[in-house]
Amino acid sequence: MVKTLEDPLSKTFAALADPTRRAILARLAQGSANVGDLAEPFDMSFAAVSKHLRVLEGAGLVSRGRDAQYRPAMLDARPLAAASVWIDDYRRFWGDSFDALDDFLAQTAEAPTDQESAQ
């Protein structure tokens, strides 16, 4: 059974989990592109690239325009802001943890050992 992702943050992380989709987003950060342009660096069909684009669209990371038969894909980085906020909370946690470890190690290095104080 496939579980559908409902919340936007889960959709964003699920879309970013695939390296091909991350590469597509990196390409779209340079400007809009059609499926042919996006498929060029990959050894995959246009249909496979279109499936990746649908996942990115579902996560709100890509929007598609329409100009006759040309359907350019464009990056929409707004969902990445929520992901960045979520990650920043953990960055602060790990930063604080490493600072505390640093302090502990510095105190441990300064404190004389039992052998040193006996001499």
Q: State the average pLDDT for the chain.
A: 87
For residues 102 and 84, give the distance between their C-alpha atoms in angstroms, rounded to a whole number.
Answer: 26
Q: How confident is the model at residue 1 (pLDDT cuts 50, 70, 90)?
A: very low
Query: Mean of the pLDDT values across residues 88-101?
Result: 85
SS3 36: helix
Quick check: 36 pLDDT over 80? Answer: yes
Q: What is the pLDDT of residue 27?
A: 96
- For residue 87, the Cα-to-chain-centroid distance in whole angstroms is 9
Query: Mean of the pLDDT values across residues 10-36?
Result: 95
Quick check: 114 pLDDT over 70? Answer: no
Instruction: Quote the percentage of the chain above a pLDDT of 90.
Output: 61
Quick check: 40 pLDDT over 80? Answer: yes
Residues 6 or more apart whose Cβ sits within 8 Å of residue 78: 60
Query: Mean of the pLDDT values across residues 100-111?
Result: 85
